Homo-oligomer: A and B are copies of this chain.
Amino acid sequence: MDEDEFALVERLGRRFAPGAARLGPGDLGIGDDAAAVTLPHPGRVVLATDLVVEGVHVDRAVSSPEDIGWKALMVAVSDLAAMGAEVTCVLLSVAGPPGTDVDGLADGVAEAAGAAGCAVVGGDLSSAPILVVSVTAVGSVPDDGAPLLRRSGARPGDMLVVTGPLGASAAGLRLLGGSGAGTGTDDVPPGPAAAHRRPVARLAEGDAARRAGARAAVDVSDGLLVDAVHLAEASGVGLDLRVGPEAVAAGATRDEALGGGEDYELVLATADPAALAEAFARAGLRRPVVIGSCTALAGVYQLDGGEWPEGGWRHRF
């Protein structure tokens, strides 16, 4: 493809039109200098943004352009899920070299937007030597008295749960041959492959947890051991993690569950795990998995009663 930016923007506008049908009557989507969107809950706008960089977050040998678009959207939306917020729309920017399959990327973004119930309302395009996708997710939260789920709300004695078993994304990457480690795509079980290529933001879980009085949340993007510490540091609590086999996804190793990251399940702190499980059951969601508790020993992190292993993913500059 060797095509003019403005023609491409016009075509992408048509591609995202079905999602734009979700916008209100006076709203503006793609095609002007800026978008204008009515939020269902006008109190506060909730905002998160994420970068997906080729060779860092995605490997084009295991993820198609559609997969990359899907993932870029879900990763940003997951940050809203981790606050218990709803998502209304996203902005999508793509920088890439000549021949970048922007249409494939856009298809993945549009599919994911459909799954998450949001509209693509704007963005930017640029040439660049490598592929970089930036998605900003924009949402709001019902004014129902239940506060946003911050990282800092956990208290000693709170139980920690995850919204689903962990490690599937890392297992998928391994099985798909990412970083040259794998066996080719033919014998890859669909569960881990999909978990890696098409992660799902846990919007319904975040919303249900917020309404059920959960105290704190974080999404598992960098790995449980890293993200749980983020929550604990923000809350000023210690961690007593007990990660049983029910917290490890099918096909994943325990190390992948602890350190793999990119699962986008939510870690929730709650004083009442039974009430949370009941709320999830009522909402038709999977049963949350208990993975330990918060302690009064701020800064002290234990795994299965022993030392805290190193793990997780950090960018270095």
Residues of A within 8 A of B (CB): 1-6, 8, 26-28, 31-39, 42-51, 53, 55-57, 79-80, 82-83, 85, 89, 91, 93, 95-96, 98-100, 102, 121-130, 132, 134, 136-139, 141, 148, 150-152, 217-219, 230, 234, 314-317
Bound complex: CA A217 to CA B4 (Å) = 23
A250 to B48, CA, bound (A): 41
- On whether A36 and B44 interact (CB within 8 A), knowing A8-B317, A98-B316, the answer reads yes
- B contact residues around A95 at 8 Å (CB): 51, 53, 56, 132
- Contact assessment for A47 and B57 in the assembled complex, using a CB-CB cutoff below 8 Å: no
Closest Cβ–Cβ distance, residue A216 to chain B (whole Å)? 10
For the complex of A and B, 6 pairs with smallest distance between CB atoms: A34-B48, A42-B42, A33-B82, A134-B134, A136-B136, A49-B91
CA distance A229 to B134 in the complex (A): 28
Cα distance A50–B124 in the bound complex, in angstroms: 6
CA distance A2 to B124 in the complex (A): 30
In this complex, the member of A6, A80, A96 whose beta carbon has the largest number of chain B beta carbons within 10 angstroms is: A6
Q: Which residue, A132, A219, A315, has most C-beta atoms of chain B within 10 A?
A: A315
Contact of A43 among B31, B38, B129 (CB under 8 A): B38
Report how far A83 CA is from B316 CA in the complex, Å: 38
Assess A218 versus B33: contact at CB under 8 Å? Given A3-B317, A96-B317, A148-B28: yes
CA–CA, A47 to B44, complex, Å? 14
Q: Is the CB of B123 within 8 A of A317?
A: no
**Contact among B32, B83, B99, B121 with A34 in the assembled complex (CB-CB below 8 Å):** B83
Q: By the criterion CB–CB under 8 Å, are B33 and A79 in contact?
A: yes
For A38, give the chain B residue with the smallest CB separation.
Answer: B44
B130 and A33 within 8 A (CB): no
Partner of A121, one of B4, B47, B89: B47
Interface centre among A55, A122, A127, A139 (most CB of B within 10 A): A127
- A47 touching B32, Cβ below 8 Å: no
Query: In the complex the two chains form, what is the Cα distance from A8 to B315 in whole Å?
Result: 10
B85 & A148 in contact (Cβ 8 Å cutoff): no
Report chain B residues within 8 Å CB of A57.
Answer: 126
| Contact partners of A51 in chain B: CB under 8 A | 93, 95, 124-126, 132, 134
Are B47 and A317 in contact, CB atoms less than 8 angstroms apart?
no
Q: Which residues of B contact A8 (CB under 8 A)?
A: 317
A128, B39: Cβ atoms closer than 8 Å: no
Contact B130 A217 (CB under 8 A): no
Residues on the B chain within 8 Å of A130, using CB: 128-130
Known A-B contacts A50-B124, A93-B49, A126-B51; the reply to A100 vs B317 at CB < 8 A is yes
Whether B49 lies near A123 (C-beta < 8 A) is yes
Which residues on the B side are within 8 Å of A3 (C-beta)? 316-317
